Every structure is written in structure tokens, then in C-alpha cells.
Amino acid sequence: MIDRKRTACFTGHRNIPTHHRQQLTELLDRMIEALYHKGVVFYGAGGAYGFDMEAEKAVLRARDRHPDIRLILVLPCRDQDKYWTAANKAVFAEMLQVADKIVYTEESYCRGCMHKRNRHLVDYSGYCIAYLTENSGGTAYTVEYARQNGLKVVNLAAYLR
């Protein structure tokens, strides 16, 4: 049984402007470290390229410092990377190898599987760390769902210069 107070999830856009990447990486590192000191050791991510992968890398860096940290991939389906670039597929394959747990919300792609993945991430978390710059789409839906469910939501995009 997952303790929501000890669990955070990530949600964010796939496209991150190049000029924001370094600062976003630093914010992720600081946020995970701060949450760790509040007792958060479980981190759920959706496995998508973009913000999810950046968050997953940050969790792995934190796990090097704090071996009790766990990376949980909550994936919409087993073939989610079917149409991705070779570079994104390679990073995804590496994440599959180093994750502490993998949850598939569906076996194969179907309508609604992304929303199901996002709801699962929120339903098992107490914190939602977001990179939200647009008021529509899957990230906006997930952030709103997290707020409606009482999660502490932090939008890292608000701290970017």
C-alpha cells in the first residue's frame, strides 16, 4: 500500500524550450531534495519524453544520494514509445531498466489510456510537481485533477526566467 504523504508524481509538457532546460533541471533537483526531507521517497512519472524524462533523471540523481528513493513508472500502455524518435526510445528503454517499479494502466494503446495513466499518478500521490505553461491539454487536466483531489501542486514553470 502506497502512503500518499510519502509519494509525489510528475506531469508536464513534452516540449521544453532549450533555454529553460538547465534551470528546470536545477528546480527538479531542489524540489526532490526538499520533498525527500519531508519524507517523500516514492516518485511516480508517466514515462513520456520531455518533462517526464527530465523528472525521472532527477529522481535517479536523488536516488544516488538517498538509496531509499524509488522511481515508479506509471505507463499508459506497453507500446507507448511506438512512434518516438530513436533517441527518445533509447532514453525510455534505459528508464525501464532502472525503474524500481513499472505499472501499466493498459496493455496496448487505447482511447483514454493517457488520462487513465494521469489519474493513476494523482490517485496515489500527495504531491504533484508540474511543468505547466498552457491551460489546455493533458498536463492542464492532470494539474486540475490533482488540485481537485487535494494534492499539493507545485508548477515549476512559474519559477523559470
Show pLDDT as tens, one digit a residue, over the chain (161 residues): 678 999 999 999 999 999 999 999 999 999 999 999 999 999 999 999 999 999 999 999 999 999 999 999 999 999 999 999 999 999 999 999 999 999 999 999 999 999 999 999 999 999 999 999 999 999 999 999 999 999 999 999 999 98
Q: Note whether 35 and 8 are within 8 A (CB).
A: yes
* pTM for this prediction: 0.95
Residue 24: per-residue pLDDT: 97
4-159 CATH, one of 3.40.50.720, 3.40.50.450, 3.40.640.10, 3.90.1170.50: 3.40.50.450
Residue 160 is given by DSSP the state -
Burial code (b: 16+ CB inside 10 Å, e: under 16) for 95-108 equals beeebeeeebbbee
Residue 154: per-residue pLDDT: 98
Residue 139, SS3? helix
Q: Note whether 2 and 42 are within 8 A (CB).
A: yes
**What strand order describes the sheet that includes 7-12?**
101-104, 70-75, 42-45, 7-12, 127-131, 152-155
Residue 3: per-residue pLDDT: 86
Beta-strand runs (E) in the chain: 7-12, 42-45, 70-75, 101-104, 127-131, 152-155
Residue 103: per-residue pLDDT: 97
Residue 1: per-residue pLDDT: 66
∠ at Cα 82 (16, 72), nearest 5°?
Answer: 65
